Amino acid sequence: MSVTSSSSPVDTGDRPVPPIGWLSSGALGLVIVGGILLASYAPRVAPLGFATALLCGAIILLVVAAGLLFRIKGFAWSTFGVVFKWSLLAYVITAGMIEFAFVHDHTRGSSLVIVTMMLVVFALSVPTTIAFTVARFADPS
């Protein structure tokens, strides 16, 4: 496929990219399951072992995705930055509202710390997926 203008998408069929979207979506899935588990116990004390394991798995997936993302050569970083910035703003607001609901339901201690960390992963994983997907097909110049 030939690119004739700077606004046309770039053909990535011959250029393999790492599975950034899959990894960050996997992290999102793990924190959603952990968040549902913790929310189902609110305001009681939830069993934290399984939720902590899910959180650790999500953090690992997100760190691996970030590591692979920064190794991509010829990537549309300016497009990624713009999309990431605005989607991060939206998801930080969303995560803040969810955090408020847990605090309002009197979630305290270790449960609140784990929920907060899950919300941080949530607020980073979705913008990463969105921005990567957009920038992947953008012209890197």
Residues 34-64 pLDDT 10s: 989 988 887 677 889 999 999 999 999 999 9
| Band of pLDDT at residue 15, cut at 50, 70 and 90 | low
Report d(CA 78, CA 75) in Å as an integer.
9
Domain ranges in the chain are 20-136
HSE-CB for 25 with a 13 A CA cutoff: 9
Question: Taking Cα atoms as reference points, which of 89, 106, 130, 91 lies closest to residue 46?
Answer: 106
pLDDT at 6 over 70: no
Per-residue confidence (pLDDT) for residue 14, from 0 to 100: 55
pLDDT value for 41:
80
pLDDT at 5 over 60: no
- Write down the pLDDT at residue 10: 45
Query: For the whole model, what pTM was predicted?
Result: 0.84
User: What are the pLDDT digits (tens) for 73-110?
Assistant: 888 999 999 999 999 999 999 999 999 988 998 888 88
Q: Cα torsion for 103, 30, 125, 43, to the nearest 10°?
A: 0
